[in-house]
């Protein structure tokens, strides 16, 4: 373990919170450039001192709207410099009618990608991984193109086809066909490689779960342990995340949890209880289970530089444009809100669960929101409003129109959801 890595873990264990000097200031520039020369867009400042107070009423209104659009339950938690705001509406279980609450665990979907990226960046800090080395240096024979680097995986620029586009083209039948299956990572990669690359490695952003399946393979190869063990020893234990687990390929969510309900493609068809599944189709791309409290703690720690060196956090925050209001770094999303503030974290979709988990540039205000449904674009778009309520305050504080509707999910990202 390098001295920088040991110091970072020591800071976590001692609960010493350090805000990197490059934190909010790094996003003031108009543009940035990644180390391989590609253009990267900058975000806006998001230090807590500049933010309006969270709007509790607006937060609750967002959750109630999600219920009116078909979510059985929805909840959100804001952590703001020691102050906590919780809101919850609807049910965690449609059969028992138990109310949903922020104490409930849930499947976080692609928020898992941020966990995977952090572990790999720690390995960069330790000198055992080079972001700009070909993946085949570490996993010989796994990929067909030596131009694909580790950085390309973590920024979704590898060109590797996303196998979930085919797996979940039909939502419920696709899910039922895999909910109890256990895949090896190589089997998932092989599904991707049945299709040609979607673009030149290192060129355009193109979201693909395949990238983070390969990231999981790198974690296991370079640490000599399982993905579950790497998450536990490098992230979960140091941060004291009491609700965060990686149980793949077990199918149950341990402890108190919200059930997930998948919306069928056919209008009017009943929701499908999708709570129990192996999540083996996702693995290091989407199989973590957590809570609103733990995800706020995690992303706050990421942005404060508690889990990596400041140099690797800077790499994580080199943004590739996604659209007019979003950028993607290394396993980290940036979203630009209507009040001119940028926030950092990840979205997550897994059958029956939508997650938004984001924090301010200095890591001092965080929000995680969850609706226990999926395949419902109206709910997906609505839940993004929790970010506006948490970071922009009252609607009057908005300086421009809200972001466009969400039409693509983190699974089967090439399929438009109307």
Note if 68 is an active site residue.
no
Rg, the chain, Cα only: 20
Tell me how far apart the alpha carbons of residues 184 and 280 are, in angstroms, rounded to a whole number. Answer: 8
Half-sphere exposure of 287 (CA within 13 A, CB side): 26
Which residues touch 162 (CB under 8 Å, ≥6 apart)?
192, 207, 208, 209, 210, 412, 413, 414
Tokens of 68: 């009116």
Backbone angles phi, psi at 370, to 5 degrees: -140, 135
Which has the closest alpha carbon to 280: 372, 371, 192, 178?
178
Buried b (16+ CB within 10 A) or exposed e, 378-416: bbbbbbbbbbbbbbbbeeebeeeeebeebeebbbbbebe
- Asked whether 359 and 384 are in contact (CB, 8 A), the reply is no
Where residue 279 falls (left for φ over 0; alpha for ψ -120 to 50; beta otherwise) is left
Dihedral (C-alpha) 240, 245, 246, 248: value to the nearest 10 degrees? 160
- Asked whether 121 and 318 are in contact (CB, 8 A), the reply is no
Q: Which of 38, 41, 110, 309 is catalytic?
A: 110
- Asked whether 73 and 371 are in contact (CB, 8 A), the reply is yes
Residues annotated as catalytic are 110
């Amino acid at each position: 373990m390098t001295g920088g890595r040991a110091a970072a873990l020591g800071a976590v264990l001692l609960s010493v919170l350090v805000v990197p000097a490059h934190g909010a200031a790094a996003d003031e520039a108009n543009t940035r450039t990644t180390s391989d020369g590609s253009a990267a867009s900058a975000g806006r400042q998001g230090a807590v001192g500049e933010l309006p107070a969270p709007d509790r009423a607006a937060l609750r209104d967002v959750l109630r709207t999600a219920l009116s659009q078909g979510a059985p339950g929805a909840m959100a938690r804001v952590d703001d410099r020691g102050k906590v705001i919780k809101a919850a509406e609807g049910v965690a279980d449609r059969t028992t009618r138990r109310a949903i609450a922020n104490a409930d665990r849930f499947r976080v979907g692609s928020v898992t990608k941020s966990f995977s990226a952090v572990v790999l960046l720690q390995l960069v800090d330790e000198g055992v991984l080079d972001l700009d080395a070909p993946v085949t240096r570490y996993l010989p024979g796994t990929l067909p193109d030596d131009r694909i680097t580790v950085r390309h995986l973590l920024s979704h620029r590898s060109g590797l086809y996303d196998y979930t586009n085919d797996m979940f083209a039909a939502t419920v039948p696709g899910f039922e066909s895999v909910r109890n299956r256990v895949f090896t990572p190589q089997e998932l990669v092989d599904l991707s490689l049945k299709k040609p690359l979607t673009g030149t490695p290192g060129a355009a952003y193109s979201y693909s779960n395949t990238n983070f399946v390969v990231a999981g393979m790198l974690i296991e190869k370079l640490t000599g342990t399982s993905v579950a063990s790497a998450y536990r020893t490098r992230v979960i234990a140091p941060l004291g995340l009491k609700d965060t687990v990686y149980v793949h390929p077990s199918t149950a969510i341990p402890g108190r949890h919200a059930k997930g309900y998948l919306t069928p493609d056919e209008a009017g068809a009943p929701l499908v209880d999708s709570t129990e599944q192996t999540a083996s189709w996702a693995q290091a791309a989407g199989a973590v289970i957590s809570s609103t409290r733990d995800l706020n703690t995690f992303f706050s720690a990421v942005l404060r530089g508690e889990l990596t060196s400041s140099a690797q956090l800077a790499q994580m925050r080199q943004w590739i444009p996604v659209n007019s209001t979003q950028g993607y770094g290394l396993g980290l999303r940036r979203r630009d809100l209507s009040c001119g503030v940028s926030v950092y974290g990840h979205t997550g979709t897994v059958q029956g669960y939508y997650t938004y988990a984001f924090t301010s540039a200095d890591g001092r205000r965080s929000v995680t929101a969850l609706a226990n449904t999926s395949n419902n674009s109206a709910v997906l778009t609505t839940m993004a409003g929790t970010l506006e309520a948490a970071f922009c305050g009252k609607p009057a504080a908005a300086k421009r129109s809200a972001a466009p509707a969400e039409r693509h999910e983190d699974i089967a990202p090439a399929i438009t959801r109307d």
